[in-house]
Structure 1
Amino acid sequence: MQRLIYPTNSPGISFLILIGFTLICAFVSQVLVLMIYALASGDAAGVLSSSMNMGSANGKQVGLFHWLLGASSVGTFMLPVLVLQFIERKSPINYLPFAVQKSGWLFLIAVLFLFAFNPLLSLVSAWNMDMQLPESWSAMQDWMRAKEDEMARLTENLVMNDSICNLMINLLVIAVLPAIAEEFYFRGALQNILGRWIANKHVVIWLTAIIFSAIHVQFFGFLPRMFLGAMFGYMLVYSKTLWIPILAHFLNNASVVIVAFYYHKQGKTYEQLMADNSYHVGLYFLSLVASVALGWYFYKLSSKQNTNKWNQAG
């Protein structure tokens, strides 16, 4: 009996399916959380007001934002990819490559690279924070700065606490769920779709990283997040498994949550946390050398386990 061959959707159709279900799932998930919170509290107006004023979260509002963040990860980023994969399940496209590597060294090297690259990333972050637009764009810069300050206040209210319970919740909604859901979406699905449109894998990786950073709407953190996105993209390209970028993404986010928890326990402020990211110039040089060496070793080791062909898994 002849084996049936199912046609693959064009990248344009796959992209439209992904975006369509992103809008639907994002809206439904957020509305569901707000409705449940409103019914539980009996104060629909208060819940709606709290959701619109993220920068002043406290007490019950923090709990609401935990739920909203979790729903955002699952609804906006995870579910659309699962729906897309289900719709195209009979095609050869695999949006969620989870092949287990023969060597655990790739995971270790990825982790070491992440920490080796951190000083350079903090330097890029400092440059980005000091970014100044032309005088004619001052209104836009003021708006961008206001959005950045709002997100900083929300982050401070969420992560600066000394409760073990809140620490665990923060690790879940800030580290675990975003690491899985965002890697599903950006590296698993979007990078895959763009890779079927564009032949050059480097263009695909950096374009995906730019979109990944832009979607967070934090303009003065755009560059470091873009570099992280590119790093996650290259990890997928050479390892052929989402597990490695998911692990790296999780460790990056979790480290912020844990350090913030430690700072608060020590009686330090969020401003001190953000200010303690500068290093000696020699460490930046060592960071560069170590990052290049580890990145090259990751590439060489992964090349032994996979072909060098640029395939649809991105």
Structure 2
Amino acid sequence: MTNRQYLLDRLPGGEKLSPGHFALRNGEVPKPGAGEVLLKTRYVSLDAANRAWMQGATYRSALEGGQVMAGGSLSEVVESDVDHLKPGDLVFADIGWQEYGVAPGKRLEKLPDLKPETHLLSVYGIAGLTAYFGLLECGRPQAGDTVVVSAAAGSVGSIVGQIARIKGCRVVGIAGGEEKGRWLTEELGFDAAVDYRSPEFKRQLRAAVPEGIDVFFDNTGGDVFEACLFAMKNHGRIACCGALSQYDGAPPPHGPRGIPGLIVTKRLTLRGFVVMDFAEQNAKALADLQGWVTSGELRVKEDIVDGFENLPQALIGLLGGDNRGKRMVRV
């Protein structure tokens, strides 16, 4: 048996990510040792954070050229040397872009038997939990608030907007293109959508939030962050989840202007977070998410790409905004 692996052959630096930055290799299937579990990958999770890890250390160590590309996956237990996992169980594991991997059993938990199983990577996985905690714990919306979400058609943003709607807020999504905007309003129930690619973006944003923004859930940073910052109401809250606009390619020539004065005069609260901050509340979050999905209040959109060999292009497409909802690759 062989183990197909994608290596991050070289770091992209200031270049845009391309297939040439990766190398496909046939390695050996690893052997689990004491306390370890051998896993077979079913689906690889793709996220903008995959690109951020190439820029340096974040909440995890920086990636280096020549190593297996990092990433999480929905994987099946093949062999186990721990009591709480047996062959056939499903787990979420950080074993990178490879068909087989070994991980310490103490770091793994058996996932519930839910259908479709892909929901374990999307709405019941990191995407759904990030949306839930980022909005409710960091943004703290109240019924009647105006909530704006950037990258609103993505895996996290599409869930954020729907949770805000469930909580009685007026929701405005920022996404690329009119087609995505129609999807947000007609299918997901957003009240309005704004096209950040339009030369009229700032005018459209002002028209969509005439009284200002109470809560801004930011996935992109850059010019979109700056435009929303100037539209915030007094005592507004900003949940800083990601900076997609700054991950791929050359760094921006400047940061958002006027931040210190705006934060002070508008008494804004900006809070960065990672989903692990709220791990002790996962059970309640998952119960709420499952309830909303079952009732039909929360619609789940998944973007599944078939074929291990398509991993590099699938990530590049995600960074370019090709996806709607959670993107993953079925191995």
Larger relative helix fraction: 1
Structure with more contact order per residue of length (Cα contacts < 8 Å, sep ≥ 6): 1
Bucket of the pairwise TM-score, normalised by the shorter protein: under 0.3
Q: Larger strand proportion, structure 1 or 2?
A: 2
Structure 2 length-normalised TM: 0.24
